[in-house]
Amino acid sequence: MGDLLVNKVVLVTGASGGIGREAAKVFASNGAKVVAAARRESDLAKTVSQIEQVGGTATYVQTDVTIPEQVDRAVQHAVSTFGSLDGAFNNAGILEEEVEFHDLSDETFDQVMNINVRGVYLCMKREIDVMRDQGHGSIVNDSSYNGKYGHARHAAYTASKHAVLGLTRSVAKNYAQSNIRINAVCPGPVETDMARILENDDERNRTRLQRWIPMGRYGNPEEIGNLAAFLLSDQSSWITGQAYSIDGGATA
């Protein structure tokens, strides 16, 4: 147990599994009151249960981040339940199947951009509305190492994660003097279901990816949560508009 986020209320999107679930658990273990948001209600309930089993405090609200009314409801749920919204980890996102660009469908491109970019845009707008009134807040957006570099067979995902960094940097400048900080984390391959899409169900791809990472392994979701917890905390009080790679040295 740490104390980085004691008495802070933190909203986590995409909290039904993967990085979102483990980050929510890290935040709670550091004293945060966590609001878990995602589309899959049964998995959200599991996230909250796992937090409560170790003495943490959490609640959940079923949320589709592409629907403004549902994002409004999630933010208001945080405020009505715990009295404030001090931080947010905008983590909800999807990765399309590996495909050559000329085979990428318009529907897939639109879906990826809708969730990964529009979702972050909508969440930040609603979160900042509350944080401006409070006079403080910290937001961490989940981008990717593909937010900094291209990927030949994941064009939609890569474009979306570049856009997340553009939003992060631009909005951070906008609200720097409002005591609202906005940063991004850029994970490399992490042990989640999304990694299996990245591997294209081929163990040889996993081996190749691990060799590409100087530390020789995938990241663990809680490691991403640890970095996000620091960026949400007062320990990072002079950091805003930054994009932090966390990838075992892959992009060094």
Determine if residue 40 is left, alpha or beta; phi over 0 gives left, psi from -120 to 50 gives alpha, anything else beta.
Answer: beta
Token pair recorded at residue 70: 């549902």
Q: How far, in whole angstroms, is CA 225 from its chain's centroid?
A: 9
Q: How far apart are CA 38 and CA 123, in angstroms?
A: 12
Number of residues in the chain? 252
Q: What type of residue sits at position 175?
A: Y
- CA 38 to CA 94: how far, in whole Å? 12
Residue 245 CB contacts under 8 Å (≥ 6 apart), including other chains:
145, 148, 186, 188, 251
121 is catalytic: no
Beta bridge mates, 57: 33
Q: Among the options 157, 175, 218, 244, which is catalytic?
A: 157
HSE (side-chain half, CA atoms, 13 Å) at 228 = 34
DSSP E strands in the chain: the ranges are 9-13, 33-38, 57-62, 87-90, 137-142, 180-187, 243-246
Catalytically active residues are 157
